[in-house]
Structure 1
C-alpha cells in the first residue's frame, strides 16, 4: 500500500508558496503522492500546476474536481495543461459532488447523476488522450480534438454506490474514497470495482482511501473532535450510505485513532481490504501523527 499526503489549504499570505512547501515536505517524508481537494478555495488543478512544478518526483492528484461546472473537454484541456506543467505527474480525480452544491450553489440540475458521469467520462477520457471526439449523448455533446500537451494521465472517479463503482472500474483507472471504512471497502468497494475492471479487460483499479487520522492516547477525545470537524459529511446521502454500511453512527466512528500500534493495525486492515493508496486527513496531534505516517511511508 502506498502512502499519500493530504494537502491543507491554509489561510496564509501566500497559499501557493505554502502549498509548494507542503509538497516538498511530502517528498522529504517519503510519500509517493500528494492530494488537493477542490472545494471553494484554490482551484486544485491550477494550484497543483503552479506549486507542484517547483517540486519534482511526486505524483500530484485532485480529490476531487466536481464535473458539473465545466464541460468535459474544458476540464480535459485544463488537466492536460497542468499535467504538462508537472512533467506527467498528474492524476485527475473527478466526482459528482452533492445535490445541494450542484443545484443550490451552481444552479445545475443534479438529475440522473450516474448517467451524467457516464457521458462526461465518454468525452473527458478520450479528449484527455488527444483523440478525436465525436459524441452526442442525452446530456452532453462534443466534437473536437485537443492538441494540448500533457495527454495521457490517470483518471479516478469518486465512486461509492454500485453503479458508479462499476463505471469507474470499466472506463477509469480507479476510485477515490472518503468516509468509507475497512469493512465497506473489503465487502463492497473492492469486489465491485475489481470485478468491473476485470470484465472490461482492464488492469486492477487503484483504490485511494482518504480518512481522518490521529495518533493519540485518548481515542475517545479524538473521535469527539473528529465528529466536530467532519460532522457535515455524515449528512450527505452518499457518505451517509457508506457510514451505514460500516455500522458507523458518525464520521468519527470511521476515523483512524489510537496509539501507534492501534493505528498501524488499522492501516494494515485497510491494505488487506484492497486499498492501494492511503491518504490521511490529519486533524490533531500533527507532529506525533506525522512521525508515524512518515515511518509507514518509508516502510
Structure 2
C-alpha cells in the first residue's frame, strides 16, 4: 500500500478566460506547486496553446494537458505539437490522450463508432512517431503513409491516457505509460481502476512503471461546501481536510493527485497558492 503521494497538482479550468492564465501560472510557480494542468474542453480553450504559454512563463513547473480528445485531432498534428513542446521544454510537458466527451465529438462531426479502437491506434502511432520511426499504418481510423518527424524528442516521454470504462482502463494499462482519472473517481473506484489497468499491463507483458493521476474536486474558504455540493463531488474545508482526502487517494493507488477547483471558483490564483503553500506541505 502506498504511504503518500509524490506529486500534487492543480487545475486551471477553462471556465476562466484565457487572460487569467498567466496569473494562475505565476501563482503555481511561486507557491512551489509540482504541476499545473489545463484542459481542452470544447469549446473553451486550446490545450496545446495554453500549455505552451504556461511553460514559456515558468522555469520549473510541469504543465499537463488533461486531456486531448483524439477524435478531434489528427495524430500527425498532435505528435508534431507534442514533439515541439517536449523539445522546447524538456521533462516539463505532460500530455494525456482520451476519447473526448462524445456529445462534443458529435457536435463537430468527429464522433467515432469505436473510441477504444481509435485510442489504441492513436497511442500506438504516436509512440512510434515520437520514437523517430517512419510510420505507415492503415487502421480503422488512423491512416499514415510514410510519416516521420523531422524533430522528434531526444527521449520518448511517457504517454498518458484518460479513461473511465473497464475496456478503456485495460487499454490504458496495455498501451499507455500512465492513466488519468476524473474527479468522479472515489477511493473504491480508484482501487478497481488500478486492478483493470494491471490486467491490461499483464496482458501486454508490461513491467515498466505506470503512473496513475487522479483529479480531486476541492474548495476552501467561504461557501466552499455549497460550491462542491453543486458540482456533486469533491472535498471542502481546510488544508488539513483536503490533505486527508489526498492521502486517501494515495493509499488507494494514486501517484499524483491534481486538485480541481469548482467551475465557479472565485479566486483561481488564490486556489493555486492555497494548494501549493498550505496543502502541499501536509502531503
- Alpha-carbon separation, structure 1, partners of 2:112 and 2:164: 17
Q: 2:71 is paired with a residue of what secondary structure? A: coil
The Cα of 1:203 is off from its aligned counterpart by 2.0
TM-score (norm 2): 0.85
> Which ranges of structure 2 fall in alignment gaps of 5 or more residues?
none
CA distance in 2, matches of 1:95, 1:191: 19
Task: Report 1 or 2 for greater relative contact order, CA contacts < 8 Å, sequence distance ≥ 6.
Answer: 2
SS in 1 for 2:179: strand
Report if aligned partners of 2:79, 2:126 keep a CA contact under 8 Å in 1.
yes
Task: State whether structure 2 residue 260 is matched by structure 1 residue 278.
Answer: no
* CA shift for structure 1 position 10: 6.2
**In structure 2, how many angstroms separate the alpha carbons of the residues matched to 1:288 and 1:64?**
21
CA deviation after TM superposition for structure 1 residue 56, in Å: 1.0
Whether 1:175 aligns to 2:158 is no
CA distance in 1 between counterparts of 2:177 and 2:129 reads 16
1:221 Cα offset (Å): 2.6
Change (3 A) 1:223 1:23: closer
Is contact 2:212-2:253 (8 Å) kept?
yes
The CA RMSD measured in Å over matched residues stands at: 2.4
- Tell whether the 8 Å contact from 1:211 to 1:280 is kept in structure 2 after alignment: yes
Q: How far is the alpha carbon of 1:8 from its aligned partner? A: 3.5
Aligned pairs for 1:1-299 within 5 A: 1=5, 2-9=7-14, 15=19, 18-39=20-41, 40-103=43-106, 105-143=107-145, 144-150=147-153, 152-178=156-182, 179-186=184-191, 188-199=192-203, 200-215=205-220, 221-226=226-231, 252=232, 254-283=233-262, 284=265, 287=270, 290-291=273-274, 294-299=277-282
**Closer/same/farther in 2, CA of residues 154 and 214 from structure 1, 3 Å limit:** same
Write the distance in 2 (CA, Å) between the matches of 1:46 and 1:148: 19
Runs of 5+ unmatched residues, structure 1: 227-251
The secondary structure found in structure 1 opposite 2:86 is: helix
So what's the TM-score if we normalise by structure 1? 0.80
Q: Say which SS state the counterpart of residue 120 (structure 2) adopts.
A: helix
Aligned length: 268
| Contact 1:92–1:153 (CA under 8 A) maintained in structure 2 | no
Q: Per-residue displacement from partner, 1:172-222 (whole Å, max 9, x unpaired)?
A: 111111121111102x11121134335522323111111210135877534
Answer whether contact 1:88 1:150 (CA < 8 A) is retained: no
Task: Sort the Cα spacing of 1:193 and 1:56 in 2 relative to 1 into closer, same or farther, 3 A.
Answer: same
For the 8 Å contact 1:217–1:258, the answer to whether it is kept is: no
Check whether the contact 2:240–2:279 (CA below 8 A) recurs between aligned residues. no
